[in-house]
Structures are given as structure tokens and as C-alpha cells.
Chains A and B, each alone.
Chain A
Amino acid sequence: MIFPLIETETTAGGGAGLGVALVLGVAFGFALERAGLGSARKLVGQFYGRDLTVLKVMFSAIVTAALGLFWLSRLGLLDASRVYVPPTYLLPQAVGGAVFGIGLVAAGLCPGTSCVAAATGRRDGLAVVGGMLLGVLLFAEAFPLFAGFYDSTPRGTLTFPTLLHVSPAVATAALVAMALAAFAGAERLERHVNRGGGS
């Protein structure tokens, strides 16, 4: 096994890890801007059916990374057990997601794309950055009120292959099939809406 090159635990304060963080961040920001996701107007098109760029970019990225991860481990190049998987907390993530979604459609940008929007001169992007900082600050200050809920329904590291007792190959294939179906649906919906059938 060659990968991961640097262990997660050592990246927090490690100079090499921070260099990688900067390079990956530049590529991340570049890709988001190329896709047009530094534009709030374009991004929210997702939720009015006229421009499903968010879905297309996100699912293409997820499928690419998942396929790469699968094949790198299958070829013995990457030890997938050493890649950090965010732990599952069922209720906090369901409720947090819903709260996040409402904020997202109002802001027109997500936390990552708000940084891109701000960097390209969009002052609404800067306002989202400011709002985010205030939001995480308020959450932290009010944390004693939420602490019980925040740690409720923990399921540890839980992935679909484990939950459904299927191999990573089956789960990854299902993900690809789902993404292809979503792309086909997205193209049809965009054509329908932009022909005047919807908003």
C-alpha cells in the first residue's frame, strides 16, 4: 500500500500536510469557479429547475472520487481503512441538513462557493462568508443548549456497504447507476423548464 501518503493524525500540524492543503484548495477553488458555482444566480438555478449545474458537478465529483477510491484499493495501492470517514449521527445530520438547505437557498451559495464568490469580487459572497462566521460563532456560544442533541443517535463510522451488507463493488456500481439516472433526469428537466414549461 502506497496511499495515503501522510496519516490524517499528522496533517493537523505537519508542514507537508499544510502544503498539500494549499495545493488541493487552489485546485478545489479553481474547479468550483470553472463550473460557475461562484455565481449565486447560477447555483440557485438548481432549486428552480432551470440550471442543474449543482447536481451535475456534485454527482460527477462524487462518482469520480468513489470510483477512484474503489480501484486504488482494488489494485492494492490505497488502504481505504486509513481514509477518514465522517462519523454518522442520524438525527443531528438530518436536522442540520434541513437547516443548512434553507440557509443555502437564501444565501445562494454554500460555504465553499461563498469563498469563491467573495474572491471573484461578488459582495453577496462576502456577506455569506460573514453570515457563516456569525452562525458558527452563535452555535458554539449556544452549544450547551444543543449538546445533548448534537451527540444523539451516534452510529460511528457507518457506510452503505456495512449497512446493507453488500460489497464496495456493488455499492459503487449502484452509486454510478444512480448518478447516470440523475444526469438523464436533469437534462430532461432543464430542457422542459427552459422551454417555458416551468419557472
Chain B
Amino acid sequence: MSAAEATALAVPAVRPAVRAEALPYASPYLAGVGLGLVLLAAFALVGRGLGASGAFSSVAAAGVSAVAPAHAAANPATAEYLGAGGPLRDWLVIEIAGVVLGGFASAWLAGRLGSAVERGPRVGAGARLAYAGGGGLVMGIGARLARGCTSGQALTGGALLSVGSWIFIATAFAAAYAAAPLFRREWT
């Protein structure tokens, strides 16, 4: 199973064109099976799963190293992300560059590209951007503590039946449900 075949499975017949209306989203089950085949291809081809937060750590580590190389090398939490070839030789950074390209291509084919700040009717764009940035910051800390995020722990570790990954899934969903009422005004 090649990644290209996996992709084809999730792609309805679309022509790249300027569309008056965006295509509807794919069935979540079909998209999920496609995503699962991509994950399986990763296991079979390179013996590892997918990830996302590790790419952020590599980019941040490269940034710190560019400004203060000795400081970066002295910190084990930064040094472990400083590969020999720099961030552009890092597996997850390249994979995430692919995610950006693939997400862009899919949205373009479906007529879903466009500048926007997604939010509910009761919050301004500035407030939504603040929630997004703050939420991202908190997620970054959580992902570092858990050694991975929705991709590296939930998807990859979940499929590998890893106990720690399922603990991550359980506490992440429980906390998100518990906190959801606090952020309801962001969306409704």
C-alpha cells in the first residue's frame, strides 16, 4: 500500500477549478480509513507513526540554537531536538511541511481556500485569535509533558495499543469536555 494509493481512496472525483460553492466534507469514516492507511503506510515503510508536536519542538529548538547555541546545547529538553542536519533534515519537520502542502491541495481542489478567522457570532476576531494563541500555548506545554499530541500519541500510539497513549486519549478528552462550557461563547 503506497501513500498515493491511500490518498486516492479519500479523494472523490474533483477537478481543480474555481468553485462558486465549496464541496461538502468527506464522510468522516471514509476520511478516517484513508488516514489509517496513511498511518499503516508509515508503520510499514519507516517503522514509525505520524506526529506533529515534535516538529514544533524541532523548529523551536533550532530557533533557540540560532540565537544562543551554548544555551540550547546545555538544555536536555532542547538538545534532544537538535539533529545533526538541522530542522530541515528532521523527519517530523518534513512530514509537517507535507501536511501543509496536502491540506492546501485538498482545500484548493474542494474550493475551501480563503482568508478567515473562524469563530462564533459573539466574539470578535481579536478575541478568537487570543483564544487560539493561548490554547496553542497550553497545548504545546501539554504535548511536551505527554511526549506527543493527537498525532504521535492518540493516533499512532492508539493504533499500536500503547497504554500511555490511551491514558493520554482518556485524559485529553475528559479535560476537553470538562473545559468546553468555559469556551462555549467562542463558538455560539
Q: A residues within 8 A CB of B174? A: 98, 101
23 contacts between A and B (CB under 8 A): A21-B91, A23-B4, A25-B98, A35-B32, A53-B28, A65-B36, A68-B36, A100-B175, A101-B142, A101-B173, A102-B176, A104-B176, A109-B132, A113-B150, A115-B52, A120-B112, A128-B135, A132-B53, A132-B137, A136-B57, A137-B63, A139-B144, A159-B163
Binary A-proximity of B76-98 (CB < 8 A = 1, otherwise 0): 11100001110001111011111
Chain A at the B interface: mostly helix, strand, loop or mixed? helix
For window 116-148 of chain B, which residues contact chain A by CB distance below 8 Å? 116-120, 125, 128-148
- In contact, A33 and B144 (Cβ under 8 angstroms): no
Bound form: Cα–Cα A108–B133 in Å: 10
- In contact, A112 and B60 (Cβ under 8 angstroms): no
- In contact, A139 and B150 (Cβ under 8 angstroms): no
Bound form: Cα–Cα A147–B96 in Å: 27
B139 shortest CB reach to chain A, Å: 3
Bound form: Cα–Cα A106–B127 in Å: 11
Bound form: Cα–Cα A32–B84 in Å: 31
Is the CB of B42 closer than 8 A to any CB of chain A?
Answer: yes
Is the CB of A189 closer than 8 A to any CB of chain B?
Answer: no
Q: A residues within 8 A CB of B50? A: 24, 28, 112
Bound form: Cα–Cα A46–B145 in Å: 24
Select one of B46, B57, B63, B171 contacting A4, CB under 8 A: B46
Select one of B34, B76, B107, B167 contacting A97, CB under 8 A: B167
Bound form: Cα–Cα A111–B93 in Å: 12
Given A22-B94, A97-B175, A139-B77, are A35 and B26 also a contact pair (CB < 8 Å)?
yes
- In contact, B43 and A119 (Cβ under 8 angstroms): no
List the count of A-B residue pairs having beta carbons below 8 Å apart.
Answer: 561
- In contact, B164 and A98 (Cβ under 8 angstroms): no
B65 shortest CB reach to chain A, Å: 11
Using CB atoms, name the residue of chain A closest to B6.
Answer: A27
Select one of A60, A89, A141 contacting B28, CB under 8 A: A60
Bound form: Cα–Cα A120–B7 in Å: 18
Assign chain B's interface to a size class. 35 or more
Binary B-proximity of A155-171 (CB < 8 A = 1, otherwise 0): 10111110100001001
Bound form: Cα–Cα A118–B144 in Å: 22
B113 shortest CB reach to chain A, Å: 5
- In contact, A97 and B142 (Cβ under 8 angstroms): yes
- In contact, B140 and A106 (Cβ under 8 angstroms): no
Select one of B38, B112, B138 contacting A106, CB under 8 A: B138
Q: B residues within 8 A CB of A86? A: 147-148, 152-153, 156-157, 160, 162, 164-165
Q: A residues within 8 A CB of B114? A: 120-121
Bound form: Cα–Cα A176–B75 in Å: 42
- In contact, A158 and B162 (Cβ under 8 angstroms): yes
Select one of A39, A97, A119, A122 contacting B172, CB under 8 A: A97
Given A26-B98, A92-B147, A134-B140, are A47 and B180 also a contact pair (CB < 8 Å)?
yes
B100 shortest CB reach to chain A, Å: 4
Is the CB of B70 closer than 8 A to any CB of chain A?
Answer: no
Q: B residues within 8 A CB of A11? A: 46-48, 91
Select one of A32, A64, A115, A133 contacting B33, CB under 8 A: A64
- In contact, A131 and B140 (Cβ under 8 angstroms): yes
Select one of B1, B107, B186 contacting A108, CB under 8 A: B186
Q: A residues within 8 A CB of B35? A: 28, 31-32, 35, 57, 60-61, 64
Select one of A33, A66, A95, A175 contacting B102, CB under 8 A: A33
Using CB atoms, name the residue of chain A closest to B139.
Answer: A103
